Structure formats: C-alpha cells, structure tokens
Structure 1
Amino acid sequence: MKTLKIFIAIMAISVGIAKAQFTKAEVQVSGLTCSMCSKATEKSLRTLSFVDDVKPDLNRNVFVITFKKDAAVDFDRLSSKVQSAGFSVNSLKATYNFAGTKLSNNMFEYSGKHFHLVNAGDKDINGPVAITFLDKGFAPVATNKKYAPQKPAAPDGKKVYCVAI
C-alpha cells in the first residue's frame, strides 16, 4: 500500500511538470504549383531530425508538421529545407507549450534562441499557445517591415525571433 501511494505521488508530480516545447507547426509555402512540388517539399521536411510527421494540405499550400517529443526544433533549418526544395515560407505558425516558461520583458528562451512576443501585453500565457513568426523568411515582407523595429537585441547576442500570439 505504501508503495502504491509513493507511485501515485510520483505520477502526480511528473504529470504536473510539463516541459516547454514546440509541438507542431503550420508552414504555408509559396510557389507550389503541382502535387510534385508539394511532394518534393514534404520529402525535404521529413529529413529534419526533429520532425515526426508532415501532412500536406494542397488546397491551402500548407504543411502541418508534428515535432518529435523533447526534440529541439530549429526553425531556420525548417525554412532552409523549404528553400532547398525550390520554394519559400509564406507564413509560419507554431504551437508552443508555455507550461513552466518564464517571460521576461515579453521574451522567452527556447533551445538557445530568444523569442520576443510583440503583443503579449499583460496576458497570462500558459499551456499550448499558437504563435506566428513575423521575421524575414517566415512572413511576408510587409509584416516583417512592420515588426522588425520592435525586435530587441538578445542579452547574450543570440538570435531573436519576433513572434505574435
């Protein structure tokens, strides 16, 4: 009986502690004209070590990407894979689990990179939240120009992504 109580206590603690991470993303790709273009992009995305699954939506030119659990996601590599297939990322929306994530001046750190939330305000952010990337290479040029001046420098000189929720 004592062992059962200890086991239940450990399970309750481990379920309550969620590791902050990106779980999935929707990548809208521009330049796709046929199913072969889509297949080439899908094949290229599947080669990334942190990608678990890729589901194309040919009607919207979107790829829904599921990331491997506890794998560090590299969005620059993701964009590079789309470009190496001959296309470009038109928009990128990713779901991030904010459980246990600390925001400081509307910034958080993930896998050695900083993310600046341009519209966080006083919102209480917890659990899975969809964020939209606003940087060059992940958003239209007009969007990037609008938000680029708001992006602060990282305190440690590392890359900062400009994102919105």
Structure 2
Amino acid sequence: MAKEGERGFFALGIALPLWMAALLGIGAFFFQYMHMVLAEKADLELSEEVHTALQLILTDAAEAQSVRMSGTAHAQTLEFRKAASDLSGWRVTSYRLHELDGLKKLYRGHINLGGFQPLTGESIVGNVAIDEFSIRILPNGLYHLRLVGRSLLTGHRVEQTAEFPAQGGR
C-alpha cells in the first residue's frame, strides 16, 4: 500500500502536466483569437480609410467649378477649383499619391506638399498602403476614379471606383 505522502506526489505528478497542458491550450486559443480580432480590425480600418478618402474626393468634386488632372500615369494629381473657400479655407484642393518611408499614402491639401495632410496610412491596428490612385477621362466626359488600398497587416486589398462630372454643382 502507498503511504499518504506518496499518493500526493503521485497525484501531483499526473495533475500538474494536465493542468499545464490545459493552460497552454487556453493560452494558445486566446492568442489565436486576439490575432483574428486584430486582423479583422485592420481590414475594417482599410475599408474605412479607402471609403472615407473616396467620399471626401466626391464631396470636393460636387463643390468644384472645375476639375484638373496633372502629373504622369504613376503620379497623378487631381485638383478641384471652387468658387468660394470651403470650411478649410481652401479654394483649390488637390489629391495626390505620395510615398514616404516606403509607404504610399493619399494626401489632400494645397498646391505645395507642405500643405498636404495624409488621408490614409498609419494607424494603431495596421498600416494602410494605397496601391493605386488613378484618374481617367471617359468618352462621355466623366472622370473615372479608382482607389485601391492594401492592409500591410493582412495583405487584403479594397478597391473602390467612382465617376463624377468634369464640372461639379454650383
């Protein structure tokens, strides 16, 4: 027969590894869940940034008297001229894609780059890179805008397109 102290060591020898395996399993599930939540938040941030940038461009297009496109196919600038200053105090608003530290961001602002503010880019959850910002004129005279963003955390991409007239509402 086993003595009382030997039974305790025997039970501890069996229970301790089982408890450790259970705790490690729960920890692994927790970290997997947190990774899934962060990936979901990063994709949500990507969708929100691309959608918000496109909506801001369309709002400026609706308020513009004229629209001008400049630059090359790889570095296009979209410029809106308004009849009066908007809430920011700007009569001319430009959008351009600019790469800084290996991260392409969409900027909105004045003619000079110092007056530009990033619309997309760094966030707490995951950085957003803009893979494509392209504008072309369609045969019917409308501008076709294509904005493609990519989450650097998940690698997922979001593409949004819109069309607007060369002269907005007045």
**TM-score, length basis structure 1:** 0.28
- If each structure's helix is expressed as a fraction of its own residues, which one has the higher value? 2
